[in-house]
Chain A
């Protein structure tokens, strides 16, 4: 994982979700954290399946969790994922 003020929680890294809605642009928190002017970036609200994060045996595997992640911390998934 890279150093710095990265706001993608470890439990979501490498996981695949789908876009719930697009937000922003909002200033980059990596720059704001060090007193710099933040470049405007798209913020994406993503939705993940609990089973995809914690495995099929987790409590309420069909529940979802939403996370808002800046676009430069995301990469496109290989195929459609929405249930």
Chain B
């Protein structure tokens, strides 16, 4: 049996040099929640909970589908959350309780806070 595959072990995120379309050069602003995610990463790494290497490791482990379907900061907050749980900052049970509390504030809470 002859194996003719040329799989080189490259992981999905290691995409430098692969064919791509034109580079978008338009500018865009960030929403409030995206700025908060960025600030959260700065605080969490500044407090020594994890590093940018941990941020990248979780994002890369999320796979190519997440890269296609989630926005940049959606992937960031998923990774920040995973790293903070791994670091023991909070448990999944505590996270679930807090998410329930936030949901109870109602769907317009986030909009009101961003005014």
Chain B: interface size category: 10 to 19
* A29 vs B83: C-alpha distance when bound (angstroms): 15
Chain A: interface size category: 10 to 19
Question: Is B16's CB under 8 angstroms from A10's CB?
Answer: yes
Binds A, one of B50-58, B64-72, B105-113: B50-58
B86 in the interface (beta carbon within 8 A)? yes
- Ranked 8 nearest A-B pairs via Cβ: A1-B9, A11-B17, A33-B57, A33-B53, A32-B53, A29-B53, A10-B10, A32-B51
A35 in the interface (beta carbon within 8 A)? yes
Instruction: Enumerate chain A interface residues (CB-CB to B < 8 A).
Output: 1-2, 5, 9-11, 29, 32-35, 53-54
